[in-house]
Structure 1
């Protein structure tokens, strides 16, 4: 065989070998990063670590301490884990508001729009209301709009509009799972239009003239969205007034409480109109409860058209049914941050 022909036959093998050599020489992009103010080789800010992740995401382990940063997570597959003994040890905090940032949706301490987000064992706080001289304003701690988000053992601290659990860009539905979290605030402090499940979470109302735990914003009857609170606990400061389970940000708001202990002075009617005496959204809402207990439970006095579910009806709001059988992403997410 002529030499030229042998070279042609060998060319694919030579090309593959050259590519393998280039790939082995290229620096690998780490998918498990650390944030610490003192550890060698660690990133000194959380955002720097987020920006250093490859496009497919990765895990960021954050050392205990107070990290005052305004964070943006736009890529998929990002995991944030506090490495302290408990969520109080690692605090992500910033102090922006609708007034200072040019709108509620720009005010979040952490804005996460990527899919497959995982957050565990840390605190996210917006301390706008705690700074002397700041006027009252919406001030989001966590804005999460990506699909398949798993958030566990996280403290979300704010006042008005603490947690924005919403759809993604273009109205794409976002499924979100919160477990063993502590969420506090007063006005509309869990709000948005995601398909979100809260399991074994402690929801606390701060002292204020009006407290609304939720402001869900399902806008039409055919939207597959809503908030479900399963085996959660509701509490409130002694000076919290006019405490209600929620009010409809949009006409078809959907919120369901299952086996929730209401250790807060929830008003007997439970739910309130968006603008009492002006708006008329309650008639088209989907508000329901099953086996609420505690001082705030008053099934016979709840405002219409909210309803008390039977055992059979409550079964239709199980975790698996709510997510239409697709719950593997939840178990995988919890396992990842264990």
Structure 2
């Protein structure tokens, strides 16, 4: 079903200085911020700590050599924040932050997210030791169910590759699955291919709010999906080239519950790719068989778009669920791929005024993680 380039780990392209100039001019600019390319932000302290500190170091110089061991050491139901400071290295292990462990901060020690990588390599169709397969949810390298989890300056990856496993046809391979509320991801990379970031919630009746700022998300098929209320502010979305001259994948696949006002909001971000022009869709609505009443919602606004996007921005995922019956919208985007056609509907200005990061995330408790005085991303292929 999918074809990946021969060496996807090294597939990257430097965008032109024209792109960088456009982003700098068109997006809110302020000195002293940085992005998931790895440059530390000079206006904030060097990677620091919050509350009790647990150090993870692969060479044995810390409290633990693995991330899961550090999570296991955090007391359940703690009201105090615990920081897990992860030293430089590649940590090949699945990690689960359970729902009874809120208030955990994962932080990469160097400030460069490429230096600290948490990775695993299983897919939906990978056989489980006890029989059966993992399924999409079970394929996740990292599961974050604890409320108020923060992650900063590190990389989450699912390194599973279809060409290495031709015997497996269920190729969904999640890097991170989130179900906690009030989650913050700052200067974090999410690497995978199909279903990279599963921005979800515990169930269709529970809202899970997630704020992604200065992050980098990479994939090809539905690589940002789920029913969570997720805001992506100043992030880069990189569509991988699947080797097709016609269709090289889909960025988003929201499955917003019917009584939930907000789904995905992508703002002040950029969309990049090496794929041929006009071969990538912005997304498609996901209406799971378990929740046939889902009403997928996504708004992409004030963002730069590369030439890889099609004139038909959206497409149905399965028969009977035409994307036009859902709220799949754009507003005030720019760049060569920011087309306005009948199949790229724009949100009206008065409605767009209500769709801000703060409005999406406030909820009943007034949660406001949104950073002020920040700039948009400098998109220079910050991938593998």
Query: TM-score scaled by structure 1?
Result: 0.82
Query: 1:36/1:83 Cα in 2 relative to 1: closer, same or farther (>3 Å)?
Result: same
Higher relative contact order (CA 8 A, sep 6+): 2
Paired position in structure 2 for 1:105: 137
What is the CA distance between 1:240 and its match in structure 2? 7.9
Q: Counterpart in 2 of 1:164?
A: 198
1:212-258 CA-to-partner distances (Å, cap 9, x unmatched) read 000000242x2233000011100112358730110000252100011
1:227 — aligned with what? Answer: 264
**Quick check: which one's strand share is greater?**
1
Superimposed CA distance per residue, residues 148-181 of structure 1 (whole angstroms, 9 cap, x where no aligned partner)? 0000100100000000001124631100000000
> Of 299, 308, 311, which aligns to 2:346?
308
What is the CA distance between 1:39 and its match in structure 2?
Answer: 5.3
> Do the aligned partners of 2:257 and 2:296 also contact (CA within 8 Å) in 1?
yes
Query: What is residue 328 of structure 2 aligned with on the other side?
Result: 287
Which protein is richer in helix relative to its size? Answer: 1
**1:64-90 CA distance string (max 9 Å, x none):** 111001000011111100112410000
Q: 2:105 and 2:307 mapped to 1: Cα distance?
A: 34
1:273 aligned onto 2:305: no
2:200/2:225 contact within 8 Å kept: yes
Write the distance in 1 (CA, Å) between the matches of 2:227 and 2:263: 6
SS at match of 1:320: helix
2:83 maps to which of 46, 59, 62? 59
Gaps of 5+ in 1: 1-29
Q: Counterparts of 2:165 and 2:207 in 1: how far apart (Å)?
A: 38
Secondary structure at 1:104 match in 2: helix
Question: For 2:321, what is the secondary structure of its paired residue?
Answer: coil
Counterpart-to-counterpart distance in 2, 1:244 and 1:214: 9
CA contact (8 A) 1:252 1:281 kept: no
Of structures 1 and 2, the larger Rg is shown by 1
Quote the Cα distance in structure 2 between the aligned partners of 1:193 and 1:248.
11
Q: State the 1:310 CA deviation.
A: 3.6
| Superimposed CA distance per residue, residues 312-335 of structure 1 (whole angstroms, 9 cap, x where no aligned partner) | 32211112222347233556xx9x
**8 A Cα contact 2:278 2:307, kept in partner:** no
Which residue matches 1:14? none
1:92 match? 118
The two structures have a TM-score, normalised by structure 2, of: 0.73
Q: 1:50 to 1:330 in 2, by over 3 A?
A: farther
Helix, strand or coil at the partner of 1:98 = coil
1:41 to partner: Cα distance: 4.5
Q: Is the 8 A contact 2:173 2:192 kept in 1?
A: yes
CA distance in 2, matches of 1:38, 1:53: 21
Match of 1:133 among 135, 143, 165: 165
- Of 144, 152, 168, 1:120 maps to 152
C-alpha contact 1:193 1:225 (8 A) present in aligned 2? no
- What is the aligned partner in structure 1 of residue 22 from structure 2? none
> How has the CA–CA distance of structure 1 residues 152 and 41 changed in structure 2, closer, same or farther, with 3 Å as cutoff?
closer
Cα distance in structure 1, aligned partners of 2:367 and 2:321: 36
Question: Contact (CA 8 Å) 2:255, 2:286: kept in 1 or not?
Answer: yes
Alignment of 1:259-270 (within 5 A): 259-270=302-313
What residue number does 2:95 align with? 71
Equivalent pairs counted in the alignment come to 298
- Equivalent of 2:285 in 240, 248, 254: 248
What is the DSSP-based 3-state SS (H/G/I as helix, E as strand, rest coil) of the residue aligned with 1:297? Answer: coil
Matched residues in 2 for 1:168 and 1:282: separation? 25
Q: Deviations over 1:252-301 (max 9, x none)?
A: 210001101001421112111113xx3333232101111111111111x1
Q: Is the CA contact 2:188–2:214 (under 8 Å) kept in the aligned structure 1? A: yes
Unaligned runs of 5+ in 2: 1-50, 127-132, 288-293, 375-384
Match of 2:368? Answer: 328
Report the equivalent of 2:36.
none
Q: Deviations over 1:75-122 (max 9, x none)?
A: 111110011241000000100110114200000010111100101100
